[in-house]
Each structure stands twice: as structure tokens, then as C-alpha cells.
């Protein structure tokens, strides 16, 4: 028995280690093969990454850094009367070059350049030029500014924001914290945000893209690009509790931007379709059941303005709009957006729930000045 145990001991001590040992040369062979596989995989990713690099390089000449000098009230200090004392501070933002009626403009946000003199704004281009604006047109409702420049510049390529889908790869370019032409990458997180947690008081007159590309103060007014290097949106706000990027930013679709930009470039003001109604912000399940709706849809009208297209069409308070033409209405913001996109003077049909019955009303939107 002792002999048998001794033989087992010898097997474990001397023979097993030799059987299961890894030859150092074999390890080197494995690493060589692993490196080969790694290089093959990296080559595939590098080729995909070239699309991003080339897109950014292609767009760079069309992006500008905007420097703005403002006067702000001084902070009160101990022992000193700082009332009515103003100090000069420097803000920055982003923009991109476009061409409307053969004139060069920079598109950016109104909150980037609004409220200052032309001499307080400097446009920095890729080739190190510093340009003072010739004229500025703004629209507060859409938070847009159109800066006219007397210079020969390269315009961006414009995409079609109506074709944007959730999950599309995008680039955001801007000047976060003054760092010019910073590029971040992400995806379209949502395409139909109608109410955004923004601090600039922007009215929900259009639907916004939500993106997850890192954006920070200074990205405002910068473009959102598809991977073909085409602008599909303008960054307008970030959702943040601390002032920095938390992966949620919002952009105005470029189709809406150009619709407004072309109007303010030519006439200084923009018109949008208007029927003259307001909506209840809270329209819950109880209210839905009360009027015979088993789904959370519709825009509940809280006010009809006198002498408006709505009053002339006999739309009434407490009516619930459930369709515009053949489009089912999700809420008041949705209806407001669809009306804004409607053609001024072209008749539309609203399906309205009134006294638990559906009626159809034809109405012709008029034009309202958007400032």
C-alpha cells in the first residue's frame, strides 16, 4: 500500500507538471498569432474610423468659432458698493457657414450673439481670419441667429433632417469651453422631443433631435453632422444639473432652421402658421376617459383667441383635437408643431372630439410673425 501511494506521489510531483507545462516557445507562437488577429481586426476598425476622420476634415473649413464680449453686472463684494457696476466678460459659441441668395452667413443660436453690438462679435475662421459681422438677424422663438458676413467663405453641405432616424451615427463640432473645432461622436437618441429641459426659455415651436454626443458650454450654435459631412441639425441646449455634459443634448433639425433662416435673411422677420388656440398642459387619464378616449392622445384646447382662424371655424374651449388631416395627435406640443409646419393659407382638416362625438372642421392657418 505504501509503495502504491509513493508511486502516485511521484506521478503528481514529477510527471504531471511535465505533461501540463506550457512551453515558452509555444507561448511566443500564441502571442504572434494573437497579434496577427489583432492587427486584422484593427484594420477593419481603422477603415471604419476613416469615415469619421474624413467627414470632420471635410467640414472643418465651414465651422467658425464665435467670440462675444458682453457687459455684465459685477458681483457684490464685501466693503465695496458694486451697484450699477458692469464688467466686460467674454463668451464663446459655435456656428457654421451657409449661403442664402448668394450671400455668406453664419448660422448660430440667438442666445450666443443676441443683445450685443456688432463690434462686440468676432468670427474666427479655420484660416485664422477674424471677421466682424456685417449684419445680424435673430429669431428668439427658434433661438436662431443669422450673421451676414462680407467675406468669401466655404459653405457647409446641407442634409435632409426628415430622413434622420434614431440610432444614426452623428458628429457634433463646436467650441466647448473655448476649445475650437472639438469633435465628438454619438448617435441620434430621439427624433421628436417637443419639450426640452433647456434654460434659455426656448419655445417648443419645433421638434428637436436628442443626441448623446458630448456637448458643453460653447457648443451652442454648432452643427450636428451625419457621417457624410452634411449638417442635419443645430445644437441649441444641453440637459445638465452641473453645467457640463451629461450625455443629453438637443438640436434643431436643419429643415426647420433653413425655413426660418431664409425668411429672416430676406425680410428680417419670419412667419409661421397660426390658428389661435392654447392647450392644457395637463391632460391625464381621467380627462381622457371622461370624453370617451381609451388612449392618451389628443390636444385639449384651453383657449380660443378672438378673431383667429380657430374662432372663425367655431373651435371651442374643451374641444380635443385628435387628428390633423390623417395624422393622429399625441399632445398639444405635437399639434403645435404640425400647425407650424403647415403652409400658410392652405386649408387643413382637424378631427375634434366634442361631447364624446368626433366632428371634422376645416380651417385655414394664417401667418403669425415669429420673433
CATH number of domain containing 204? 2.40.10.10
Query: What are the phi and psi torsion angles at 150 (to 5°)?
Result: -100, 70
The answer on pLDDT for 109 being more than 70 is: yes
Q: How far is CA 191 from CA 159, 211, 234, 250, in A?
A: 15, 9, 13, 10
List, in order, residues 6 or more apart from 133 with CB less than 8 Å away. 106, 113, 118, 121, 123, 147, 148, 149
Domain count of the fold of the chain: 3
Domain final residue, candidates 269, 303, 331:
269
Do residues 116 and 138 touch, judged by C-beta distance below 8 A? no
- Residue 11 has a pLDDT of 47
Lowest mean pLDDT among 148-157, 162-171, 191-200, 245-254: 191-200
Catalytic residue among 55, 205, 220, 308: 220
Same domain, 111 and 185: no
The answer on pLDDT for 250 being more than 50 is: yes
Catalytic residue among 91, 120, 143, 370: 143
The tens digit of pLDDT for each residue in 48-75 reads: 889 999 999 999 999 999 999 987 777 6
Same domain, 216 and 300: no
The answer on pLDDT for 282 being more than 80 is: no
Top-confidence residue, 13 or 304: 304
Catalytic residue among 65, 111, 137, 300: 111
The answer to the question of residue 359 being in a domain is yes
The answer on pLDDT for 9 being more than 90 is: no
For the question of residue 220 being annotated catalytic, the response is yes
The answer on pLDDT for 199 being more than 50 is: no
- Residue 88 has a pLDDT of 74
Same domain, 241 and 329: no
For the question of residue 111 being annotated catalytic, the response is yes
Same domain, 115 and 176: no
Q: Which domain range does residue 366 map to?
A: 272-370
For the question of residue 143 being annotated catalytic, the response is yes
State the Cα–Cα distance between residues 160 and 32, nearest whole angstrom: 48
Domain final residue, candidates 122, 149, 176:
149
Same domain, 276 and 361: yes
State the Cα–Cα distance between residues 108 and 221, nearest whole angstrom: 4
Average model confidence (pLDDT) for the chain? 86
State the Cα–Cα distance between residues 160 and 233, nearest whole angstrom: 9
Enclosing H/E stretch for 2: helix 2-10
Query: What are the phi and psi torsion angles at 30 (to 5°)?
Result: -60, -40
Amino acid at each position: 500500500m505504501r509503495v502504491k501511494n509513493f508511486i502516485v506521489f511521484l506521478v503528481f510531483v514529477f510527471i504531471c507538471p511535465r505533461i501540463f507545462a506550457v512551453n515558452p516557445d509555444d507561448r511566443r507562437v500564441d502571442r504572434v498569432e494573437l497579434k496577427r488577429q489583432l492587427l486584422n481586426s484593427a484594420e477593419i476598425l481603422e477603415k471604419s474610423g476613416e469615415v469619421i476622420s474624413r467627414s470632420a476634415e471635410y467640414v472643418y473649413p465651414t465651422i467658425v468659432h464665435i467670440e462675444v464680449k458682453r457687459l455684465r453686472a459685477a458681483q457684490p463684494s464685501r466693503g465695496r458698493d458694486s451697484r450699477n457696476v458692469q464688467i466686460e466678460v467674454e463668451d464663446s459659441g459655435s456656428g457654421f457657414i451657409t449661403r442664402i441668395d448668394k450671400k455668406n452667413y453664419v448660422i448660430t443660436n440667438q442666445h450666443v450673439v443676441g443683445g450685443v453690438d456688432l463690434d462686440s462679435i468676432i468670427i474666427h475662421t479655420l484660416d485664422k481670419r477674424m471677421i466682424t459681422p456685417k449684419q445680424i438677424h435673430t429669431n428668439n422663438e427658434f433661438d436662431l441667429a443669422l450673421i451676414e458676413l462680407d467675406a468669401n467663405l466655404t459653405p457647409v453641405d446641407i442634409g435632409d433632417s426628415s430622413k434622420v432616424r434614431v440610432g444614426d451615427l452623428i458628429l457634433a463640432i463646436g467650441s466647448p469651453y473655448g476649445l475650437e473645432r472639438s469633435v465628438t461622436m454619438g448617435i441620434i437618441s430621439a427624433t421628436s422631443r417637443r419639450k426640452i429641459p433647456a434654460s434659455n426659455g426656448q419655445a417648443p415651436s419645433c421638434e428637436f433631435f436628442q443626441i448623446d454626443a458630448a456637448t458643453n458650454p460653447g457648443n451652442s450654435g454648432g452643427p450636428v453632422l451625419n457621417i457624410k459631412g452634411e449638417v442635419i441639425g443645430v445644437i441649441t441646449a444641453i440637459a445638465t444639473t452641473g453645467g457640463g455634459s451629461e450625455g443629453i443634448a438637443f438640436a434643431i433639425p436643419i429643415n426647420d432652421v433653413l425655413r426660418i433662416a431664409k425668411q429672416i435673411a430676406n425680410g428680417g422677420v419670419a412667419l409661421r402658421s397660426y390658428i389661435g388656440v392654447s392647450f392644457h398642459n395637463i391632460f391625464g387619464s381621467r380627462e381622457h376617459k371622461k370624453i370617451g378616449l381609451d388612449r392618451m392622445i389628443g390636444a385639449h384646447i384651453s383657449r380660443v383667441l378672438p378673431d383667429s382662424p380657430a374662432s372663425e371655424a367655431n373651435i371651442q374651449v374643451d374641444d380635443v383635437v385628435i387628428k390633423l388631416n390623417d395624422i393622429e395627435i399625441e399632445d398639444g406640443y405635437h399639434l403645435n408643431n404640425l400647425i407650424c409646419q403647415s403652409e400658410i393659407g392652405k386649408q387643413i382638416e382637424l378631427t375634434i372630439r366634442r361631447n364624446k362625438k368626433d366632428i371634422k372642421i376645416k380651417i385655414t392657418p394664417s401667418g403669425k410673425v415669429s420673433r
